[in-house]
Amino acid sequence: MTLWLVHPGKYGEREQMALDKNLAIIGWDRLPDLSQLKERGQLSKLLEDSYPEERKKTLINWESQLWPFAKSMKVGDLVAMPLKNRPVIVFGYVDGKYIFEHENPEGFKHTLPVEWKYFIPRNQISQDLLYSFGSAMTVCKIQRNDAENRIKKILDGLPERSQEADRVNEDSFDLEQIAREQIREIISQSYKGHKLSQLTAAVLTAQGYKTRVSPPGADGGVDIIAGKGPLGFDAPKLVVQVKSSDSPIDVYVFRQLKGVIDSFGAETGLIVAWGGYKGQVETEAARHFFRIRLWNADDLVHQIQESYDDLPEDIKSELPLKKIWILQPQPED
């Protein structure tokens, strides 16, 4: 059995369909059905014809990902899919052969049946393995540092010991994603419970809101009240519910906040869910786009990065960040 990594898109755009339909899904929209290819050289020629503007090195890199996805991944192989919208890596087993789904929308046609079975929080996985799962490639084999056996232990509920990471080429990693994971880990450790509400309020204050944070305990469905203007009386008037659990929230939380917006004299609502959202929440949120917005862990980290210079000094000392310039990874599909 081999351990593979399949990313669900740069922005996680394929992860919900992948989970709902038990599939691994990749992009490369210009490519037709790959199931009829007999030799790897045929894929090389197909890439050259489909992407004539791309460099030879890029096409070789893409070939090294597409051929395994369409031809090498076997029934029983283990697949990891890091989610973008919550700090979780999902694991499952290949359950069939590659299929080109003609009826799927663009970006969702190249599929592989995978039975997704395990949702493992990132904080249960050692950092050296997270580096491997942070690969900038869309599809790759994960084998460094005995990864396969160590992941099997985690899936069996057994403790696994981290190993000293091998020397690797940093170009093979999505350094931005790794940085976000490190920031998320610090926030997860330092801002549990009510402190996450205080951190969220600090971000909103830096964005020009006047905020009031509810004290710990029963909050009537609202953790933060915020408004613009010198006294916070101006629009948009905002109520915020903050959930620090690592588990995704269900639609009850969304409906609860929707029900109390008017009673607080607010116009809009915001839910900050550290563990992300179950599928029904995002479906319902789409119908209330102009009323309620959703932030997950990555959204909050992004807002912190955007507002960092204006955050209080005590937060900066607890969460010391530094801006750096890095080379932008080339898109894989």
Q: Which domains, from first to last, does the chain contain?
A: 3-173 (3.10.590), 189-318 (3.40.1350.10)
Residue 181 CB-density burial (10 A; 0-12 exposed, 13-18 middle, 19+ buried): buried
**Phi, psi at 174, each rounded to 5°:** -85, 90
Q: What is the pLDDT of residues 111-150, one digit of tens each?
A: 999 999 999 988 788 888 888 898 889 999 998 889 999 9
Least confident of 25-34, 254-263, 273-282, 298-307: 273-282
pLDDT digits (tens, 9 = 90+) for 250-280: 999 999 999 999 999 999 999 999 988 887 8
Task: In whole angstroms, give the CA distance from residue 74 to residue 77.
Answer: 6
As a whole number, the mean pLDDT across the chain is 89
Which region among 15-24, 126-135, 197-206 has the lowest average model confidence (pLDDT)?
126-135
Give per-residue pLDDT as tens, 33-50: 999 999 999 999 999 999
What pTM value is reported for the model? Answer: 0.68
From 307, 304, 24, 7, select the one nearest 177 (Cα to Cα): 7
Q: Does residue 165 have a pLDDT over 50?
A: no
